[in-house]
Structure 1
């Protein structure tokens, strides 16, 4: 038992070191991947090692309408499904995604696989992900200032590309604790048209690192406090953290709040309609100057857990 505890400690220490190394560098990039306030329900979207970790087949749909009132603000939807196989030693998952921001739209699919190692009352997983996305940017439809250069080559043609990428991750969980680290988009695909170059500007996909952890504190027979943290990083951009605390009441109703550093505060709730069905909602309010121009962000979640064994009782799963 002591050897396993030391091993987990070394793994988590290595995760932190890797995160620091990945975020070093001088090149500037912006956050490219979609964000969610209910990230704890969408872990498969950023960590492939999560696949199969709930020990049941589960499907989750999540939709986010960000910064309502601002034209071209992000609108994102995902559908994920994962399940355990081979006596819960393997996990497989799939994700469908659509993300629209301004004149750009990304739609795609990702396949995930995870290998799980039982450790005491939990498991340690290692995962890989392969993705295929269609990236479209409608530059030709932008209304330009007529007093500017004609033609403006930066807006002369639309971009329509198929991008292939991959990611990897590690994830540990037991009944009340989890920790994971993952990196998405290792391949620096070019987003500009190959035939058109404006100065030295080249837009590329960038690797995004995610460090997530959480713990459930028992507060009594009917109450549990679920805490979670997600740290997101990409080279050249400020590290952003999401801090969440949710109070579970009789394992049926959850009410929580979240703080996203230098960005938003959120209120959220989850209701377990049945042992298999959960619904969730989150409302974000900007704490930056953007709060003057939007009425907040709305996020909706629906999850269904399949049980093919009628005699098996679905125990509460917090992660």
Structure 2
């Protein structure tokens, strides 16, 4: 497995013109969409805190592992949303830590829908311990020095939602970074490149009967150097308390999804991904768990639909 991770690492670092570095992925993106669209901040109308842990490709030593923490809130007039995100993403010898601040301005319509324009900015620290890569030539000087750089982030998005429908488009990071061992360049010989990622999200809630609601949704991801990827999802809500569903991610995985609204403030989600790519022979799937707690300013004040 260590050899397999070395191959993956060398591909990411060495094939800069063929494959772009991908941002961390989440199967439960619909659980807290601020991770893919800054305009989502404050859309639920309360102070919301969320934590996520994702362990990908269980059984492969050094496989991707992600921790994410976020807070967002709306101002008293619900016109402005503010948010903060912190994350730690690891894969093999590479690790990225970052902190982003988010601002969203919301325009409300007479039909009770709203349109938000969001911005986010922050920094991340990318590190790669190249001395730990298994090499055929142990004296290869290209891997004699580690990478440790600070990367800027500036992103934007738009997001519309009503009681039943949402849609949004975003570019979480508009800054295209070129990584070298000793610095960050915008035009230079590079070890790897980090391109802009484009996201489109949409979903709708249908009433089946008084107790059941169906929420289909989708996420489309596009980045230079990689195929366009679709997440196609469906969740069945039972009495607004329990949700079960599934997801298909093109070329990557099929996912099982479950959520429980424990009370008005506390929500728990779990996802299991079964790999359908060639890596299926080497791992036992992916586990993801998320927890969200909402602090209402007034008892029982949950203004936005709990479905998204």
TM-score between the two structures when normalised by the length of structure 1? 0.86
Taking the TM superposition and a 5 Å limit, the aligned residue runs for 1:27-38 are: 28-38=18-28
Taking the TM superposition and a 5 Å limit, the aligned residue runs for 1:1-319 are: 28-119=18-109, 120-145=111-136, 148=137, 151-194=139-182, 200-310=189-299, 312=301, 316-319=305-308
Q: Deviations over 1:219-261 (max 9, x none)?
A: 0000000111000000121000001100000000000000000
Please report how far the alpha carbon of residue 165 of structure 1 lies from its aligned counterpart in structure 2 after TM superposition: 1.4
Distance 1:134 1:118, change over 3 A: same
* 5+ residue gaps, structure 1: 1-26
Q: Deviations over 1:184-234 (max 9, x none)?
A: 22212222124799x954422210000000000110000000111000000
Please report how far the alpha carbon of residue 101 of structure 1 lies from its aligned counterpart in structure 2 after TM superposition: 0.7
Look up the SS of the partner of 2:194 in the other structure.
Answer: coil
- Whether the 8 Å CA contact 2:46–2:302 is kept in 1: the answer is no
| d(CA) in 2 for partners of 1:58, 1:122 | 20
| d(CA) in 1 for partners of 2:300, 2:176 | 48
* 5+ residue gaps, structure 2: 1-16
| d(CA) in 1 for partners of 2:23, 2:209 | 39
Look up the SS of the partner of 1:292 in the other structure.
Answer: helix
TM-score between the two structures when normalised by the length of structure 2? 0.89
| d(CA) in 1 for partners of 2:241, 2:184 | 55
Please report how far the alpha carbon of residue 289 of structure 1 lies from its aligned counterpart in structure 2 after TM superposition: 1.7
- Whether the 8 Å CA contact 1:185–1:205 is kept in 2: the answer is no
| d(CA) in 1 for partners of 2:184, 2:124 | 21
| d(CA) in 2 for partners of 1:73, 1:237 | 20
Look up the SS of the partner of 2:259 in the other structure.
Answer: strand
- Whether the 8 Å CA contact 2:231–2:250 is kept in 1: the answer is yes
Look up the SS of the partner of 1:105 in the other structure.
Answer: strand
Root mean square deviation, CA, Å: 1.9
| d(CA) in 1 for partners of 2:75, 2:60 | 44
